[in-house]
């Protein structure tokens, strides 16, 4: 095998190093994290506004809403007519300027990932632990005849949950904690408090707004 990396991998490595450098600067200087929100495909503008509001209400971040990008064909999973979340993360990282510490993708399309024995498990979202990217789908949030209010409540929890993963927060075993594993279940999502437990608050304290542990916003 050659020791040389393919050009595409070199570009990806350069973007990753740039993101790490910017993140390290933000932590060292106390500056807010710079977050890009990228719509993927056609997304309800009200959903995008709510997602930005949710992020800035929970986390001490600067958020910029970027123009929409089409769903990447490379992420399409034809057998289930949906998109692989991990490939969406790859695309988000490849197409988002390195000046942003984090990028959140939002789509109305159904997304999935592998989970245990299941190769293709439908999810509300996916975030890379201590990584740069996360993605959220509203496709499953309106299930069960959910009202607009319920959908936006679910959106807030999933956005904050997946973004929490990028900050290094793993799934939490505390029932009701924002970082509890939702398991793709609307019932578990609805039972979630939308707040971090004391342990998760302590781990993420450097990134939280001072009032992020206040009662749930919705």
* CATH code of the domain in which 62 resides: 3.40.390.10
Residue 126 maps to a domain? yes
Q: So what's the pLDDT on residue 47?
A: 97
Asked if 148 and 138 count as a contact pair (C-beta separation under 8 A), the reply is: no
Q: So what's the pLDDT on residue 211?
A: 61
Exposed, middle or buried by CB within 10 Å (0-12, 13-18, 19+), for 8?
exposed
**109-141 pLDDT tens trace:** 999 999 988 999 999 999 999 999 999 999 999
Which regions of the chain are under pLDDT 70? 1-31, 210-218
22, two tokens: 């910017």
DSSP line for 43-64: --HHHHHHHHHHHHHHB-EEEE
Residue 81 maps to a domain? yes
Tell me the C-alpha distance between 69 and 40, whole Å.
5
Residue 161 maps to a domain? yes
Residue 215 maps to a domain? no
Q: CA torsion sign, 196 to 198 to 203 to 205?
A: positive
pTM score, whole prediction: 0.83
Residue 96 maps to a domain? yes
**HEC sequence for 186-215:** HHHHHHCCCECCHHHHHHCHHHECCCCCCC
Residue with tokens 């740039």: 18
Positions marked catalytic:
162
Q: So what's the pLDDT on residue 31?
A: 61
Q: Which domain holds residue 25?
A: 7-207
Percentage with pLDDT > 90 across the chain = 76
Count of the separate structural domains present in the chain: 1
Residue 162 maps to a domain? yes
Tell me the C-alpha distance between 89 and 105, whole Å.
8
131, two tokens: 């990584």
Question: For residue 80, which phi and psi values (nearest 5 degrees)?
Answer: -115, 5
Residue 95 maps to a domain? yes
Residue 1 maps to a domain? no
């Amino acid at each position: 095998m050659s020791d040389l990396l393919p050009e595409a991998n070199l570009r990806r490595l350069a973007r990753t190093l740039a993101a790490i450098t910017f993140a390290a600067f933000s932590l060292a200087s106390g500056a807010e994290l710079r977050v890009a929100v990228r719509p993927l495909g056609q997304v309800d503008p009200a959903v995008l506004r709510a997602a930005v509001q949710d992020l800035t209400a929970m986390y001490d971040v600067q958020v910029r809403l970027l123009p929409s990008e089409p769903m990447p064909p490379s992420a399409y999973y034809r057998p289930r007519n949906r998109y692989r979340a991990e490939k969406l993360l790859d695309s988000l990282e490849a197409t988002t300027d390195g000046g942003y510490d984090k990028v959140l993708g939002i789509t109305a399309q159904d997304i999935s990932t592998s989970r245990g024995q299941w190769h293709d498990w439908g999810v509300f979202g996916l975030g890379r632990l201590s990584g740069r990217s996360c993605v959220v789908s509203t496709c499953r949030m309106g299930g069960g005849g959910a009202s607009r209010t319920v959908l936006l409540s679910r959106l807030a929890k999933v956005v904050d949950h997946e973004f929490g993963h990028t900050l290094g927060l793993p799934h939490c075993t505390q029932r009701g904690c924002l970082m509890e594993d939702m398991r793709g279940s609307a019932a578990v999502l609805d039972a979630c408090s939308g707040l971090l437990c004391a342990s998760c608050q302590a781990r993420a304290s450097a990134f939280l707004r001072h009032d992020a542990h206040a009662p749930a916003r919705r």
